[in-house]
Structure 1
Amino acid sequence: MKRWIQKGWRPTTLIILLLVLWEGSSRWLDIPAWLLPSPSQIWKEVLVSWSDFQGHLLATIRLTFIGFICGSIIGLGVATILHLMPKVRETVYPLIIISQNIPTIVLAPLLVIWFGFGILPKVIVITLFCFFPIAIATLDGLRQTTDELKHYMLMVGASKGQIFRKLEWPHALPSIFSGLKIAATYSVMGAVISEWLGGNHGIGVFMTLASSSFRTDRVFVSILYIVILCLLFFSMIVTAERRLIRWKPKGEKR
């Protein structure tokens, strides 16, 4: 709490000032609600539309969680294999980098053609969003272990597996959590984008219906909940990081 008071009041004050400026400009310039609703109109819509919106919110949370878990498992697994098998890494790593030059949103229509309109293509989209930051961060973290520590463990007779489990993996945890934090925010955006592919529930569906009917206030409601979900998911990863990485000095925690 003390830390928030010291560092958090500045961005909070800025956000409040921007909202006040937005509210005042909307009323003074008499901007139509369909063009740019004021913060008070958006908040009113948050309260009014909650009964209709909560089902979409729960659907997006469920989809985000599934996609994030799949992306994390695949990203960590691929990074581990590439680290333990250098020759495979030299072959596959450039392909992983090249794959990121293909926009994921471009693959979405193809995924619908291949897998239909069910949950599978949506999960694949989120997995693709999460995979890259987790895999790259994990690979970088596993390579940060100093040669001196590896040499010391080899001197005491440690096997390659023991070095990985007891030295390289713990040292890679800060980097892994950095990738997880990036993927946490990507997963929410990936879920919303994947819901644009089709379906009956989800924030992406709610946003599409709102924009097609010129309900700009509902579009901003969707954006507000997306931001809140990203912050909550990010905070969960930060909390897990603080609980699991207790061996690092406070000044080194990310």
Structure 2
Amino acid sequence: MTLALIAGRGDLPALVASALQEQPIVCGYEGIDVTGVDVDLTFRLETLGSLLLALGERGVTEVCFAGGLDRPALDPIKLDAETAPLVPMFMQALELGDDGALRVVLQLFEKTGFSVRGAHELAPDLVAKGGVYSDQWPDAGMRADAEIAAQHILDQSPRDVGQACVVGGERVLAMETASGTDKMLSGLPGAAREARAILFKGPKKGQTMKIDMPTIGPETLDAAAAAGLAGVVVDAGDVLVLHADQCAARADAHGLVLWARTGE
């Protein structure tokens, strides 16, 4: 087995690579600052066909997507000959929501003969383990808010919006959009602080977990604290927690609850 790591922003690519027995072939998207691993191949949407060919020539049989990537725009001028036949599939993907586009990408790699492995499969220690990571524990109000948040994410799944929301006082105060979690937190109303609201993160119903598993890291705890929240709650088994020890330490430093809920 030879694996290619399609690497994006953040620490996830390096954490996945460190969990592997053999060094993967690292592919970085042009213009993305990939950290913690050395990039072997650089590509862009308009040269994806050539990348698939190059991976096949190098004996790659499996690929893993890890790290953040923005949805790219297609520039016809930069298309190469190997990628031009894929344009109809690209156009379909770009017209779909985030999860729909990721499904098209997943199908493209699988139809080309590659097995797509999720980061959670290759680095299972990163998956949220049920329980409370922080010194602070969730109270009854926070547990009720977490239940409402989890249901809200499921209810909003058909809209294909975000993987996170903010709930306080049993009211949904904000929902993540394509702009991301940080943007959502920066625009929270003052009621979030007063209600001791939580940031909840979990997968949408039917989400493409092999490519887009929800993720938190130490910066998530910093952002939640800056927004005046009382805690961060994730679904155990369905969310990646990067640098779990650091996350717990940040939660304690900020006086936050960090909880991976189970059984709901």
Q: TM-score range by the shorter chain?
A: under 0.3
Tell me the TM-score normalised to structure 2 length: 0.22
Q: Is the strand fraction higher in 1 or 2?
A: 2
Give the structure with higher Rg (CA): 1
Q: Is the helix fraction higher in 1 or 2?
A: 1
Tell me the TM-score normalised to structure 1 length: 0.23
Higher RCO (CA 8 Å, separation ≥ 6 residues): 1
